[in-house]
Amino acid sequence: MAEPKDRQQLTLYVQSKKAVTSFYRPPASRSFAAAGSPESVGVPSAGGGAGGEESPGVAEEVFFLSDDQARCLALAEETAARRGFRLRVVDVGKAGMFTKLLAEHLRGVERFPVLIGPGGQRLEGVEAFSEERLCDLMPTEMFRLRAFTYVKVRGGDLDAIRDILLTYPEVRELHLLTGDWDVFAVLEFRDSNTRKRQVLEFVTEKIRGLPEVIDTSTLVPEYSVTKFPVAPPHRPGGPAA
């Protein structure tokens, strides 16, 4: 029976270029997964003498990423770290089994870098790497509690109620509706300890208590996942997000 896929694991394939240089380079700190192997190996640097000592003036092969691929790598690493995903990086430029790797994992790929999501989703080429697209591949639990409130307004004075509701920091979005309800408000609470009772108290005191409001109805989800970019949770003693 096949093992289930790791829903938090992504693989980024980059393609480095090879150069021959006699210029001294310090050991690279970034690690790439060896093609076809789960282990990581360091990017080779010039020199390579015994004990890790460098030998200036000796021609050596080095591998380097173009700036556009390096930008994609940095963005993918930052996004994965924020959203609780693990990113495995494979450098096909150093792969001795490139033909086999291409056939098995990168069929049809023409441009690098290529990011493969847990469900097989794919981003290909530097133009595809944006925060929005990366978040699509890495849905994450929401750090802040959100709630959704329907509001019925007396006399249909939507401009007035809009201006009042937008003064509340907890009101993140407003949507004007047609039908039984006039306004749909998206609420967000920065304190991670906020509970349903506190949400309903805010709605009844701050929103339903307004003279323009006739009625409200609020939904408080038990669990939420988002593809949108999200701010990290506020840590006690740390700066507010």
CATH class of 141-226: alpha beta
8 A C-beta contact, residue 161 and residue 151: yes
Residue 48 has what pLDDT? 43
CA distances from 152 to 53, 110, 197 (A): 74, 54, 21
Residue 46 has what pLDDT? 38
Residue 1 has what pLDDT? 40
For CATH 3.30.70.920, list the domain ranges present in the chain.
141-226
Residue 150 has what pLDDT? 98
Residue 61 has what pLDDT? 74
Residue 144 has what pLDDT? 87
Q: Which residues of 42-72 are buried (b: 16+ CB within 10 A; e: fewer)?
A: ebbbbbeeeeeeeeeeeebebbbbeeebeeb
3-class SS at 157? coil
3-class SS at 153? strand
Binned average pLDDT, 10 residues per bin, the chain of 241 residues: 67 88 58 45 40 54 90 97 94 69 71 92 95 95 92 85 95 94 95 90 96 95 90 54 44
